[in-house]
């Protein structure tokens, strides 16, 4: 790739690489440069469609979503670009002249799917700064475990030229186990932290969600980390500490036990629909332990642990407005029957329950963020994250805990009203 020589990259110049829509292809990469960093006014525009050239496929049409980072060991810039069903790596010493290095992804992870919006970061494993691994984040469509779009990742090493994955090609690791986590991007200038922000939606139904002037919103910002479990390395995504600034009121619920049911008739007075739940739950002898968030109209979201099946489940089949899901637009490569069998309580592509594999433990720490059209849950500090849209006609302000097979207890339970 060669960026036009008339782009002068001196001190104080901001260069942006972006996606544009051409006459023959809606995914090409362009560059713009400016010295005005307060108001970005593109001084230079279109790069010819063939400036980024994939070396392995002459008929590749999707080649876009560049992400650039500084690779200090070799004093160079590295660019990752979506390239069909894989990602390609380029390097540059001056951000103008880019050379192809390698590609990764063919046959890896969820298949078949389009690799989109890649990102890659180096993180310490279990907080050990002397033991680091690279996490390659890839958004896919289709390929989501429950249909449509989603975000998977790969853990491995990067030698400055190529990414070497630690796992076999058939291993798929999901950054989020909900159905509305897509176009995940890492933020810049966050210091020692790696913060991501996903878009809450799914390509199956993003164009028909029952919203007004938007197509929903971004999810909460999340801090990434690497942890080991059962001899493998995984990526955690916990709510960024900055979200605590949204807490405007705290309601402490005394500890209680659940044998069959335990009701909370009002979570917050004048509840406008935005709140956080923080719970510490002790398993006891329960086989199924969980709760319903519901309103006076009977609209509800169920969140529960099925311990014999080792699943964390979020069920939105009766969450409010759900019928639009029958008009979804699955990708032509997607197997409809697979979506039905993998999800729980499948009614349509929106009205279903998503689930994540969990280990049976004596205690679980659960964080739940509820907003007007979303429920985001984080188990054990983000080792499991699950993000789903919901469209209730009034806020969920009541709660019913339930247990099957035995008693469990809630040792700590705080409700936080959220606001700006």
Give pLDDT, residue 45. 41
Whether 16 has a pLDDT exceeding 80, the answer reads no
Q: Say yes or no: 401 and 327 in one domain.
A: yes
Asked, for residue 8, whether it belongs to a domain, the answer is no
With b for 16 or more beta-carbon neighbours within 10 A and e for fewer, the 19-46 pattern comes to eeeeeeeebbbbbbbbeeeeeeeeebee
Q: What percent of the chain has pLDDT over 90?
A: 75
Q: Say yes or no: 29 and 56 in one domain.
A: yes
Q: How confident is the model at residue 30 (pLDDT cuts 50, 70, 90)?
A: low
Decide: helix, strand or coil at residue 72: helix
Q: Say yes or no: 183 and 153 in one domain.
A: yes
Q: Which of 312, 306, 416 is nearest to 370 (CA)?
A: 416
Q: Say yes or no: 278 and 375 in one domain.
A: yes
pLDDT in tens, 385-414: 999 999 999 999 999 999 999 999 999 999
Give pLDDT, residue 84. 87
Question: In the chain, how many domains are there?
Answer: 2
**CATH number of the domain bearing residue 375:** 2.60.120.560
Q: Per DSSP, what are the bridge partners of residue 174?
A: 152
With b for 16 or more beta-carbon neighbours within 10 A and e for fewer, the 367-386 pattern comes to bbbbbebbbbbbbbebbbbb
pLDDT in tens, 198-216: 999 999 999 999 988 788 8
Asked, for residue 408, whether it belongs to a domain, the answer is yes
C-alpha span between 91 and 94 (Å, rounded): 9
Asked, for residue 375, whether it belongs to a domain, the answer is yes
- Which of 186, 217, 239 delimits the end of a domain? 239
Give pLDDT, residue 393. 98
Contact 101/89 with Cβ under 8 angstroms?
A: yes
Q: Say yes or no: 22 and 139 in one domain.
A: yes
Give the domain extent around 153.
Answer: 14-239
Asked, for residue 347, whether it belongs to a domain, the answer is yes
Q: Say yes or no: 141 and 219 in one domain.
A: yes
- Which of 210, 239, 268 delimits the end of a domain? 239
**CATH number of the domain bearing residue 172:** 2.115.10.20
pLDDT in tens, 292-335: 999 999 999 999 999 999 999 999 999 999 999 999 988 877 76
Asked, for residue 2, whether it belongs to a domain, the answer is no
Asked, for residue 4, whether it belongs to a domain, the answer is no
C-alpha span between 225 and 194 (Å, rounded): 8
Q: What is the dihedral of CA 21, 22, 24, 26, to 10 degrees?
A: -10
Q: How confident is the model at residue 52 (pLDDT cuts 50, 70, 90)?
A: low
Helix (H) or strand (E) holding 245: none
The predicted model scores a pTM of 0.90
pLDDT in tens, 147-191: 999 999 999 999 999 999 999 999 999 999 999 999 999 998 999
Q: Say yes or no: 330 and 206 in one domain.
A: no
pLDDT in tens, 321-378: 999 999 998 887 776 677 788 999 999 999 999 999 999 999 999 999 999 999 999 9
Q: How confident is the model at residue 13 (pLDDT cuts 50, 70, 90)?
A: low
Contact 179/353 with Cβ under 8 angstroms?
A: no
Q: Say yes or no: 195 and 265 in one domain.
A: no
DSSP secondary structure code for residue 105 in this structure: -
Q: Say yes or no: 126 and 46 in one domain.
A: yes
Asked, for residue 81, whether it belongs to a domain, the answer is yes
Contact 320/392 with Cβ under 8 angstroms?
A: yes
Whether 220 has a pLDDT exceeding 60, the answer reads yes
- Which of 194, 213, 239 delimits the end of a domain? 239
Both tokens of 370, joined, read 């509820």
pLDDT in tens, 83-110: 989 999 999 998 888 899 999 999 999 8
Q: Say yes or no: 180 and 257 in one domain.
A: no
Give pLDDT, residue 61. 57
Asked, for residue 374, whether it belongs to a domain, the answer is yes
Whether 224 has a pLDDT exceeding 70, the answer reads yes
Q: Say yes or no: 204 and 249 in one domain.
A: no
Give pLDDT, residue 110. 87
Give pLDDT, residue 47. 43
Give pLDDT, residue 54. 46
Q: Say yes or no: 195 and 289 in one domain.
A: no
Q: Which of 19-28, 131-140, 214-223, 355-364 is the least confident region? A: 19-28
C-alpha span between 239 and 382 (Å, rounded): 7
Give pLDDT, residue 24. 46
């Amino acid at each position: 790739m060669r960026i036009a020589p008339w782009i002068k990259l001196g001190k104080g110049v901001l260069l942006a690489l972006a996606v544009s829509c051409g006459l023959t292809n809606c995914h090409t990469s362009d560059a713009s440069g400016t010295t005005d960093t307060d108001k970005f006014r593109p001084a230079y525009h279109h790069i010819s469609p063939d400036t980024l050239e994939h070396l392995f496929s002459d008929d590749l049409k999707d080649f876009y979503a560049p992400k650039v980072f500084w690779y200090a060991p070799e004093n160079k810039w590295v660019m990752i670009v979506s390239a069909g069903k894989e990602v390609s790596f380029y390097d540059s010493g001056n951000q103008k002249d880019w050379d192809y290095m390698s590609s990764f992804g063919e046959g890896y992870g969820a298949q078949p799917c389009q690799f989109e919006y890649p990102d890659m970061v180096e993180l310490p494993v279990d907080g050990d700064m002397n033991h680091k691994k690279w996490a390659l984040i890839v958004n896919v469509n289709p390929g989501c475990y429950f249909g449509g779009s989603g975000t998977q990742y790969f853990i491995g090493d990067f030698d400055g030229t190529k990414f070497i994955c630690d796992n076999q090609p058939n291993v798929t690791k999901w950054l989020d186990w909900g159905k509305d986590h897509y176009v995940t991007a890492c933020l810049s200038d966050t210091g020692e932290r790696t913060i991501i922000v996903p878009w809450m939606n799914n390509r199956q139904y993003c164009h028909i969600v029952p919203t007004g002037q938007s197509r929903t919103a971004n999810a909460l910002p999340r801090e990434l980390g690497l942890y080991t479990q059962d001899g493998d390395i995984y990526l955690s995504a916990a709510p960024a500490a900055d979200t605590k600034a949204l807490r405007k009121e705290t309601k402490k619920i005394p500890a209680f036990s659940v044998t069959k049911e335990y009701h909370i008739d009002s979570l917050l007075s004048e509840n406008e629909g935005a709140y956080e739940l923080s719970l510490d739950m002790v398993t006891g002898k329960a086989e199924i332990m969980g709760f319903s968030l519901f309103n006076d109209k009977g609209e509800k979201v169920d969140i529960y642990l099925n311990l014999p099946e080792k699943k964390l489940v979020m069920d939105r089949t009766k969450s409010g407005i759900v019928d639009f899901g029958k008009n979804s637009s699955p990708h032509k490569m997607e197997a409809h029957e697979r979506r039905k069998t993998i999800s729980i309580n499948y009614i349509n592509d929106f009205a279903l329950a998503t689930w994540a594999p969990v280990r049976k433990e004596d205690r679980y720490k659960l964080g739940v963020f509820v907003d007007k059209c979303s429920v985001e849950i984080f188990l054990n500090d983000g080792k499991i994250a699950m993000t789903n849209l919901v469209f209730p006609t009034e806020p969920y302000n009541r709660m019913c805990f339930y247990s099957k097979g035995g008693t469990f207890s809630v040792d700590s339970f705080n409700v936080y009203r959220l606001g700006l």
